Each structure stands twice: as structure tokens, then as C-alpha cells.
A and B are shown apart, each in its own frame.
Chain A
Amino acid sequence: MDRNHINRSGPGFSRREFLKGSGAAVVVGAAATSAVEAPLEAQQPATKIISAGPHTITLNVNGENKQVTVEPRVLLIDALRNDLNLTGCKDVCDRSTCGACTVLIDGKPVYACTRFAIEVVGQKIDTAESLYSPEKTDDVVTAFCKHDAIQCGFCTPGFVMTVRGFCDQNPGASEEACRRALGGNICRCGTYDGVLKAAYDTAQIVR
């Protein structure tokens, strides 16, 4: 999972600036921490300040540009699910811990609940839905079916996207490397054995 703060913001936008300028909903929090924040603020010149009201933005999802109108506080997961009806990224934990909402942002697996929708404008977003159509089945989907890495299937798209992103970046990865890479996703039904086999298979195909 991408933990790099520099990479986590879209072009021309910083999370810190957003928090500072996004209006009433976050004012209390920003005020409370302003004393600590100030020196850092000085080092990072403001890039953009926007209002708390709804904004019409364009998201590039699965290769298509889609317009949504959302308040700055709306998370990417909610914009995908509620505005674009791309429900493959599941809302499970409410706190960025289970990985069920994993999507690819510029090819990297990211929890969609850790980004604001307005944050990813200009970036390339891929969701699980892009991996299967009547014409084409992605290797990850095939591998998950082969190893029955699916039970109820609710966490599965998140795992699938983690595997897709990880294998693209780590062709030929070892089983141990796959195991480490999948530590950010939780399954309750108990599909881990099949998921690991499917991830390993996929990594070898990419090689």
C-alpha cells in the first residue's frame, strides 16, 4: 500500500491546504492544531483553496472521464459508489483498515476511503469492474476463480485490485512477497489460502 505522503496528493493539490481551507466542517480541527501546523505551513506554499460547497469535477475512471458534483469532504470511495455506481469498491470498515475499497490510482493499489474525490482529479483510477467483460477476463479474475479465492465475495474485489497493482509492479514476485503485499486486506470468510495462490499465479504470468 502506498504510504508516501508526497505521492498521495494529486497534482496542484495538497491535503494540508485542503484541510485548512475546506470550510465549516473541519474548521474546529484545523484551529485546534494550528499552532503545531504553522511552521510546516510556511514550508508548503498554498496551492489551492476551495470552498466547502459542491464542486463539479472530472474523474478519470476505467479509462473514461466522468463528471461528478461533490462537496470537498466526499471521499473517493463514496463518489465511486454513490455517484458513479461503481460498487466494486466496498465500504466495510469506515476507517481505512480492511482494504475492501482498494482501487488503482495511477497503477498503485490505494484504499479509496483514504482519498477525497477532489484529490484525485487528473489521476487515473481503475476499479475492479474494469477487469472483466464478456470480451475479456483479466488474469487476476481467472486466477481467483481457479483457486476459489472467493466465498461471499464481498472483500474479493479489494483483494483483486491489490493483486493486480502489486503484480504489475512486482512481476515474478515470490509467495512470501505476495503474502506481505496482501497484509492490507481482510477477509472474514477465510479465502486467504486461495488468494495467496491466485496472487502467486498472477505474479508469474506478469513475468
Chain B
Amino acid sequence: MVERKVGWEPQGSHALIGGEIQRVDGKVKASGQAKYTNDINPPGTLFAKLLTAPHAHAKLVLLNIDKAKAVKGVKSVIVMAKLGDEIRYEGWPIVAIAAERPEFAEDGLRAIEFKFESLPHFVDGLDLKGAVEADLAADGKPLKLTKSLGKSEQGDVEVALKEAKHVHEGFYGVQTITHMSMEPHGSHAAWDGDHLNVALSTENVSGTSGQYVQPVGVEAMNVNVRCDFLGSGFGSKSTVDVWDVACAKLSKVTGKPVRLMLSRTTEMQIAGNRPSAFAEVTVGCDAEGNVTAWDSRHWGSNGLEGSIVGLDVTPYVFRPKNRKSIATGIATNCSPERPWRAPHHPQACAYTQTALDDLAAKAGIDSLQFFTKNLNLTSLPHIYEPELEIAAKLMDWKGKWHPRGKGAGNGPVKRGIGVALHTWNGAANQSNVTLKIHSDGSVEVVTGSQDVGTGTRTCIAQVAADTFGVSMSAVKVSLGSNQFPKAGASEGSSTIGGVTGPVRRTTQQALWKILDLVAIRHTVDGTTLAARDGKVWSGDKEICTWKQAASLIGPMGLELYGGPVTDDEGLTNHQVGGVQMAEVAVDTETGVIRIVKMVAVQDAGMIVNRLLARSQVYSGLIMGIAYSLCEERIMDNKTGRFINANLNDYKLPRIGDIGDLVVEFYEPESEYKRGVIGLSEPPVISTGAAISNAVANAIGVRVPVLPLTPKRVLDALKGAKG
């Protein structure tokens, strides 16, 4: 008898789920035929561009758009900032121009007359002392740069530090980075009467139509949002922004479709960043290396708001009994942060686990032994311990380990290894689906979700095809429209669990209905029936083909609506653990770091698609290498400007910079049985700490702030010399 219970089959018994299945949209993407928002180009489309403020803090004192309006090809000019407005960061939108061709829009921008009166600015999230001094000097005036974000305390840190055998004090930090989605933010808007049709570059297809209502003056039911393909977002594309509103307005005024995508520089300046974080840490352990005390004060800036990495993730993963943390935010004249892949975890991981690694070095204990010994301070020791063992084998930790700065060889290039670990919630989002089974056996799944690059379409098709025992090509997946059943935003690694849960439940329910019809037609016991290989079977006996079975539902077909997955269904779960190890080679003469090898061992509950899941981990490692070694938003204190806001000077790793990447999933039956858990965020978290620890192991000194640029490496070496 085949048990009829919503859920996944036992490990190893799915035909497609868990397998290496290629993307269903791979060919259209690889051949450039996939149409992203940036590519929506119906005839008559006007091209819109923005004039933005070149100041961090200023007052707009002159704005004249008359000449711009008269420029050849310019169809409409919209003012986005009023005379007298306070500009609070560079890149602040001032004017939007729509023209027949992009070059005409540029001509229009050049014809705008404007003038700003500059005001004092503060852009350095590292400079806590400067911010405090500025606050004191302002003496009660509205200027307020620093703000306390609270304190968290447990146990008795002072006593624990006094009793500790080894105590280490250090400074650590991570600079601000941007999201740098390859497709910039933006939209294509077209009105049809009082209906607004938008192609929006968004990770939140179902949740954005309502955001047009107030600023554009349109009824929610008249807004149609589409996003078939998204050129990534990494957390930054969940809102309808002022430039999207301007685009809709330009379209309304001109009566023509308008596309407004941010320029690369504006994208980097205002469309999202990950806040900086810096920490002064004192940490102590006993003679055996058990961490007994953590005392930290951390600060940083997420822009205007002046918020910062939370106390909830400080210290990160390792939570000693005696601990105290104080957080201070600094408000800067920089654009606001947006959620960046695993918001705040990478920064917290970096300042926590580098400090712990320094303590291990002080205690003279192998880093891996030290981290393993302290797993009792984490919430997932049963996951981390086996993962560390697997990673150590893949890295050959024993063979490569040496005490800090004591590697073999006298040459200038030093090798080292490091380890760090992370956790992430990854619970499923609230997604609805409609399932249609046609009488010819073809299957359709429709959902208002989106594919940000994870492979949403593919995973949905895989689950449906697996349940019905049909090929992937028999399943059509439609997503990317707010006219489809509502689905949660793709943020926090919530999508694959969010969509596969309801798809599994609904397809199982549909299958049972069809099998019952087969049972009646063929007079067999329905509970013995199963679908696989395009056929329906009773045990080993073939009863009919899938097509014959589906024809029993009649010409109307079958349509089922599936609500969001719930915790008690056993389809999804939350909270994963992962570990990473890095091996680096550091040239002590030039300060250049080369990644030799990275090992990632990751738990994600039940893996839906091994090929795509591995891509997610590669992705985490490579973005991790980027923020560890090269990418950084550089603000010029004098002018208050983001001086490397372009892809030339904002350094990202290229294909030769990533080393040998080894990805392994930790998927024993105990974890498989938990069901699907989000995988996108976790593998980007501990990369920074692992690489920094490897560099410290190589050169014998800590380079305190990420990214570990050649200058910072040389400065650290010089500082150590004295």
C-alpha cells in the first residue's frame, strides 16, 4: 500500500528531486533571448534618464529645465526635487527626462541648469571619534550623528575576564559594499487607459503593485506588474522606488511607454548597500581554550538612519555564557542600506570569529581544535561538528596547519589556512500556487513568485514532474506576474521552500484524485497505485499511461489552489549550519592575496536540485571572496562622494581570482527529513572570517579590516614590525 500523506519520499527514492537537473530556462538565458526589464523595448518606447545630485549634503538653490524641454527628441521632463530641498546624499534624484532615444535624453540632462549650496557632511562610518566630536561641537543643534543602539549583557564579563587564562583584545571591521546587481534597478511603464502595466526589475513581484497606488495615483487593481527574468538583486529589489514612480509619471504625461533604468554609477550610489561594521573586542578563554567571556563595542553606518549590525548576532554563532555587547550607530550622508544577502551576518561573523581565532593563536591552540572545542557555545553543534570533520578532510587541514606565521619556506609568499562557521534561518516564505492538470496529461504551475537566479522555475517543475512521474518537459511553470497567486518576496533564502512546499502538497492531492479515478476505471485498489516513468502502476504491474490517467478527469481538467506551506507539514524547516575553510597565499612584499582553495560544507535540509544548489554555494563563496579581498565603497571624506562608483574602480573578482572551490552538502537522513530550507544566504556569511583567519595564519599578523587589500596587508605587516 502506498501511504497517502503530504510530504517528501524517503531519502534516495525520488526520481527527480535531489538530482542534478539543468535549468529549464538555461538556453534562453545563455542565448540572450530571455527578456529582462532592461530589455523590454516595444516600438515607441521612450528612454528616460536621471539627473542626480553630485553632493553628499547640499541645498538645491537653482533649477531650470526650460532649455532641457526644448532639446531635440526630449518628450517630457519631471522635477523630482524642489528648490530649497535638502539633498542628503550623493546621487539624490533631481530631474527625470524621457526622450525618443537615450542620447537625446543625455542631451536633455546636459541642458538643465542647476546650482547647489553645499552643507557640511559626514560620510565616514569608521570614524566614531570624529562623529562623537562633531556631536559635541554641534552642542544641541539638530546635528546628531551618533546614537546608542543598546546593550546586551549576560553573566559577569568582568569576573570572567579576570579569571580567564588567556585574554585577547583587538579591533576588527568590514567596510561598506554595494549590491552591484548586473541589471540595474528600474522599470518599463506603459498606460492603457487607467491601467498601469509595469515591467519591474524586482524580487517582489506580488508585493510591489500596491506601492504604486499612492505616489502615482492609480487603483491597486489596475496595476499589472511583471518580471519574467531578473538580473539579480541580492536583497535590494523589493520596493517601488522614486525613479520607478517617475517612470510611470513620464509614461502618463507622454502617453507612451517609458523605460527608466539607473545608470551604473547611480545604481551604486543610491540603490542599495551593505552597511559597514567595526568592533573593539575583548575575549577570554580558560587554559583548555574554552571561551568564557566576550566583551565588545561595535559601530558603523548604514547611511542616513545610522543603524548598525544588531546585538542579536553579536557575538556571532558562538555565545559565551558571560558576554556583553554595546552598539552605536553613526548617521552618515550616504544612501540607505538595503538588505544584502544574509543581512548583517557576514559582518558579525567577521568581527566575532576573527577575534576568536586571534584568541586561539594567543592560547597556542590549532584554530580548528579551538572552534570544535567551543561548539557547545553554538546552537547547532550536532551539525557543525560533522561538517568541520568533512571540511578538514577536504582541505587536508592536518597536513596544511602550522602555527600562525610559522609556515614552511623563506620566500616572500606565505601560505595559511583558516576556518569559520555560520547559521541562517532560511524559513519558507508565504507563497500560493495554482496547479492545473489538463486532460492530455500536461501540467501547469502558476505562481506570483520570481526567479532571481536561484532556479525557481526549475525547482517547481522538478517537484511537479517528480510527483506525477512525468518528464520535466511535461510541466509548464508560469511566474513573474502579480496577476498570479500571491507569493512572498525572494529575500532571506525563502523562495525555494516557499514554492516547493505548496507545489508538493497540491500535486500530491491532485495525483490522489487522479489515482482514485484510475482505480475505479481499472477496478484496482487506489491505495496501491503510484505514478512513475509516465505511467501508473499497482506494485510492479502497469495499469495505464499518465496520459490515459489524466484523460479520466475530463476536458475541463483539474485545477487546485495551494496555500502557503505550514510548519507542521514536514515539507520545509528552518535554521541551517555551514562551515568554510580557506587556504590563501599572501605575497608579503606586494600585499597581494591569492585564494588557493576554499571548502564549503553546507546543510540545507533536503536538497531539491543538486546542480543548482551547488551553484548557490559557489555563488556565496565568490561573493564572499569579493568582499573579503577587493570590493569596497570608498567615500571621500573631503567631498563626501563615492569615488569608485563604477565597475572599473569598484573591484570585483574575475574568473582567475577565485582559486579552487570545493562544495559539499551535509545531508544525512536526520537533515534530509527536515525538508527544504533556504540555501542562498548561508554560504556567503563565513567566507570573510575564514579568509581573514587564513591570512593571519599565513603572515602571522591580523589584517583587521575587510576587504584585505594589498595596502591593508602591507600596513598590518608594517605595524607588526613596529
Contact = CB atoms under 8 A, between A and B. Distances in A.
B23 A150 contact: yes
A92 B262 CA distance: 10
Interface string B459-471: 0000000000000
Interface residues of A, number: 60
A109 interface: no
A144 B26 contact: yes
B103 A154 contact: no
Contacts of A73: 103
B32 A128 contact: yes
Nearest to A158: B32
B661 interface: yes
B38 A90 contact: yes
B22 A148 contact: yes
A150 B26 contact: yes
Interface of A: 71, 73-74, 78, 81-82, 85-95, 97-98, 100, 127-132, 137-138, 140-141, 144-146, 148-157, 160, 179-180, 182-183, 185-196
Interface string B38-82: 110100000100000000000000000000000000000000000
B43 to A, nearest CB: 9
Contacts of B39: 81, 87, 90
A94 B646 contact: yes
B265 interface: yes
A91 B620 CA distance: 25
B623 interface: yes
A195 B655 contact: yes
B655 A192 contact: yes
Contact of B231 (A98, A127, A152): A152
Interface string B81-109: 00000000000000000000111000000
Contacts, number: 189
Given A92-B647, A188-B181, A153 B265 contact: no
A128 B30 contact: yes
Given A95-B647, A189-B453, A141 B656 contact: no
Interface string B598-632: 00000000000001101100111111000000000
19 contacts: A82-B101, A87-B39, A88-B31, A95-B648, A98-B647, A128-B33, A129-B32, A129-B33, A141-B26, A144-B30, A152-B229, A153-B25, A183-B654, A186-B182, A187-B655, A188-B232, A188-B623, A191-B615, A192-B618
B36 interface: yes
A100 to B, nearest CB: 7
B208 to A, nearest CB: 18
A145 B452 contact: no
B29 interface: yes
B377 interface: no
A150 to B, nearest CB: 5
Nearest to B612: A148
Identify the interface centre among A74, A81, A155, A187: most chain B CB within 10 Å of its CB.
Answer: A187
Which are the 10 A-B pairs with shortest beta-carbon distances?
A88-B32, A190-B622, A153-B29, A154-B231, A152-B453, A157-B32, A128-B32, A87-B39, A190-B619, A132-B31
Identify the interface centre among B29, B231, B232, B614: most chain A CB within 10 Å of its CB.
Answer: B29
Contacts of A189: 182, 232, 453, 619
Contacts of A140: 30
B717 to A, nearest CB: 28
A18 to B, nearest CB: 16
Nearest to A198: B30
Given A81-B39, A186-B647, A190-B622, A154 B232 contact: yes
A184 B281 CA distance: 41
Contacts of B361: none
Contacts of A74: 101, 103
B31 A131 contact: yes
B137 interface: no
Identify the interface centre among B182, B265, B653: most chain A CB within 10 Å of its CB.
Answer: B182
Contacts of B622: 187, 190, 192-193
Contacts of A148: 22-23, 26, 611-612, 614-615
Given A188-B652, A190-B619, A194-B618, A82 B102 contact: yes
Given A74-B103, A151-B615, A156-B29, 13 more contacts: A81-B39, A86-B32, A87-B41, A94-B264, A95-B648, A100-B182, A132-B30, A144-B30, A151-B454, A153-B231, A154-B36, A154-B38, A157-B30
Given A190-B622, A191-B619, A196-B655, A93 B30 contact: no
B31 A186 contact: no
Contact of A128 (B31, B36, B615): B31
A189 B33 CA distance: 19
Nearest to A88: B32
Nearest to B45: A82
B287 interface: no
B473 interface: no
A158 to B, nearest CB: 9
